[in-house]
Amino acid sequence: MALTDVLDVLREHWDEVQEHLDESARTSLLALLDAPSADPERTARKIARLVLAAVPDGHPVRAALEDSVRYSQAVRAELTDREAVLRALALFRGAADPAPAPAAATPSPPEDADDWLLAADSVSAADYRAGGHDPADPDLIRLTDRQGAVRLPAFQFDGASGRPLPVVVAVNRLLDADDDPWGVADWWLGANAWLDAVPARLLGTPGEQALLAAARAEIAEW
């Protein structure tokens, strides 16, 4: 998923998109545009997810995103071109010129989503290893904090045995948590329009049966 493509879609359809953004979504979108992640592909996914969650089915921007987002080796090469990303950002800001979001009654989401993900309940790699498990398991989400310590989000594990939950392993494998742990953690812990819920909160409930289908839908949107 190329950030330049997503920004091109936003620039072309900004007036239509902003009609559907609530204050929280607008604040999150502006934060991503002002301080994009060092990984443009992950930033593109987050922006696309915010927009797709806001616009209704059949909205022209939905089809435009699906048509414009391409996931290929050529796109991966483009992601390394920071000048292309900066040009696309400048074009978007010139077209949208969004005003600063008004002060919210509740705290805004942090500008750095990584910090928000690190604030979720987690288990240290050392503690997980001490329990007889392998923290290097490629089917697990492993996040490295600011001090360089590896942490594993706690929702991945059965509370009694400490073992990874089978549905979590299946979804993590499908979304490639080993290659993109931050993006997959964001999928689990952020609101999901397809599920109308936060995926991690469905674990252990009847709703967890829909998690794998939702992950497949996520891949289809890439």
Amino acid 156: pLDDT: 96
For residue 138, give the nearest of 174, 114, 113, 190 by alpha carbon.
174
Of the three residues 70, 96, 122, the one that is the final residue of a domain is 96
For residue 54, the enclosing domain spans: 3-96
Do 118 and 214 fall within a single domain? yes
Token pair 């879609």 in the structure block, residue? 9
Flag whether 82 is in a domain: yes
Query: How confident is the model at residue 69, as a pLDDT?
Result: 45
Pair 39, 119 in one domain: no
Q: Could you tell me if residue 181 is inside a domain?
A: yes
- 0.95 cut: is pTM over it? no
Q: Pairing mode, if any, of strands 122-124 and 143-144?
A: unpaired
Q: How far apart are CA 199 and CA 188, in angstroms?
A: 5
Start-to-end CA span in the chain (Å): 6
166 plus 216 within the same structural domain: yes
* Residue that finishes a domain, picked among 96, 128, 156: 96
Instruction: Report the C-alpha dihedral over residues 59, 75, 92, 52, rounded to 10 degrees.
Output: 30
Residues 130 and 203 grouped into a single domain = yes
User: Does residue 105 lie within any of the structural domains?
Assistant: no
CA distance 39 to 33: 13
Of 16 and 177, which is predicted with more confidence?
Answer: 177
103 found inside a domain: no
Q: Helix (H, G, I), strand (E, B), or coil: what is residue 139?
A: coil
125/203 same-domain check: yes
Classify residue 213: in a domain, yes or no: yes
How far apart (Å, rounded) are the C-alpha atoms in residues 5 and 22? 23
Are both 124 and 196 inside the same structural domain?
Answer: yes
Total domain count, the chain:
2
Burial (0-12, 13-18, 19+ Cβ within 10 Å), 208: middle
Across residues 15-27, what is the average pLDDT? 78
Task: Judge whether 108 lies within some domain.
Answer: no
Closest by CA to 204, choosing from 171, 167, 172, is: 167
Q: Is 150 helix (H, G, I), strand (E, B) or coil?
A: strand
Same domain, 204 and 139: yes
Tell me, yes or no, whether 76 and 117 share the same domain: no
Sequence-distant (6+) residues with CB within 8 A of 123 are 151, 152, 154, 157
pLDDT digits over 94-118, tens only?
Answer: 544 444 444 433 334 444 546 788 8
Q: What is the pLDDT of residue 87?
A: 54
In a domain, 74, yes or no: yes
Q: Which of 68, 96, 124 is the last residue of a domain?
A: 96
pLDDT at 110 (0 to 100): 42
Task: Specify if 174 maps to a domain.
Answer: yes
Same-domain pairing of 58 and 117:
no
Packed helices 3-18 and 82-96: angle between N→C axes, nearest 10 degrees: 10
Residue 76 has pLDDT above 70, yes or no: no
User: Do 141 and 81 fall into the same domain?
Assistant: no
Question: Does residue 143 share a domain with residue 49?
Answer: no
Give me the pLDDT at residue 45, please.
Answer: 73
Q: Does one domain contain both 122 and 82?
A: no
Place of tokens 């045995």: 161
Does the pLDDT at position 89 exceed 80?
Answer: no
The 8-class DSSP code of residue 23 comes to: H
